[in-house]
Structure 1
């Protein structure tokens, strides 16, 4: 990928944020060493204290940005309680960043089942064995739980745990940022306006 492509401000002419994000994600898949779909997910607990951690984007369409987790985990409980979240993608190799925020909905059972079935068998076992975000007395306890569920589901398909599913952030805003010389960056925010989007160019 040429330096000209990396520093181009042409993205500021785009009028649809999901198509632009898909292009940037494709660029990241070609340039990032690990997990181009990794994103920092921010939530808020019942006391209004923010939390942030890395997750993997697993779905994208005009409805929003999808990731999966244990609903009994800290992030799961915070999202179910507040029904809102934010994401930040940062692709260092491309000098690009995208921020997303908005209300959150639960994906359909059909979506969750399809994605769960696509995961490696060990990952499906892990979803049953891990009491995510809760105290663990030692590594052996986790390994023991993995062994127990491996034996339990030794034959046939592994069902999706009832507490494991996906969330979809339905963005009210999506902001694209691109590094430019002397910190005079390109920064464009798309804001939900009815059925469409309002585009605002921002000072860096």
Structure 2
């Protein structure tokens, strides 16, 4: 095999990788429900039943302070009342970005099914009691990590992290009801939702939902 460091080596390596392998599910956009929430839940259940690892993982894209894009993977917390929920620490970069520009895009990608769902819309903070309930529902280790409150700050050494983690875990053990005040549960209420079903012949199916006042419209898009 040609070295990936040679001119064109990486390009050739990537071109040889297989895509859209395996049995792909069918998707009839003509039978899609009027509400994208219903279709999303159906697709999520399909991903779960197919044994997709972490099917609730999604890319959350926000607007950075310099106006550029910023993205990272988070876990979906709930889908309820037409909103998709996730939680962040407000002192983290993503937390500050949402406070400065309360809008986001979510992307779900289930590779084995060749399916993708993209959402865009405003993001609203839930009341403090709901954020607290979400925080307390996390594992002790996750709560201890959030209570350190230093996400993305420079780290001098792994030993420094170990000491801080030990101290935070001890706090959680002593005070099991302790809540991080900057922990915030957010709900994205999409203005657009797009469902993409891949096809081996590249005749991909794209169905876009757009919110118009109090109803959704559906439109097929070219691949």
Equivalent of residue 173 in structure 2, options 150, 154, 158: 154
Q: Return the match for 1:88 from 96, 107, 124.
A: 107
Which of 38, 43, 47 lines up with 1:19 in the alignment?
38
Give the deviation of 1:11 after TM superposition: 6.3
SS in 1 for 2:161: helix
Contact 2:91 2:182 in 1 (8 A): yes
Q: Is the Cα–Cα contact under 8 Å of residues 32 and 93 in structure 1 kept in the other structure?
A: no
Tell me, yes or no, if the aligned pair for 1:105 and 1:168 is still in contact at 8 Å: yes
Match of 1:105 in 2: 124
* Larger displacement relative to structure 2 (114-123 or 35-44): 114-123
Secondary structure of 2:25's match? helix
Q: Residue 36 of structure 1: which of 30, 55, 76 is its match?
A: 55
2-structure distance, mates of 1:147, 1:61: 36
Can you list the C-alpha shifts for 1:17-47, whole angstroms capped at 9, x where unaligned? Answer: 0010001011111224421001111111122
**4+ residue stretches of structure 1 with deviation over 4 A?**
none
Q: Say if 1:176 and 1:33 are closer, same or farther in 2 by CA, change over 3 A.
A: closer
Whether 1:75 and 2:94 are equivalent positions in the alignment is: yes
Given the superposition, is the C-alpha separation of residues 45 and 175 from structure 1 closer, same or farther in structure 2, using an over 3 Å criterion?
A: same
Distance 1:42 1:70 in 2: 15
Give the unaligned 5+ runs of structure 1. Answer: none
Larger radius of gyration: 2
User: Distance between the aligned counterparts of 1:50 and 1:142, measured in 2?
Assistant: 28
Contact between 1:7 and 1:180, CA under 8 Å: does it hold in 2?
no
Equivalent position of 2:145 in the other structure? 126
TM-score (norm 1): 0.92
Backbone CA RMSD of aligned residues: 1.8
The alignment covers a number of residue pairs equal to 202
What's the secondary structure of 1:183's corresponding residue? coil
SS of the residue 1:15 aligns to: coil
Q: 2:134 aligns with which of 115, 129, 133?
A: 115
| Alignment partners' CA distance in 2, 1:26 and 1:59 | 13
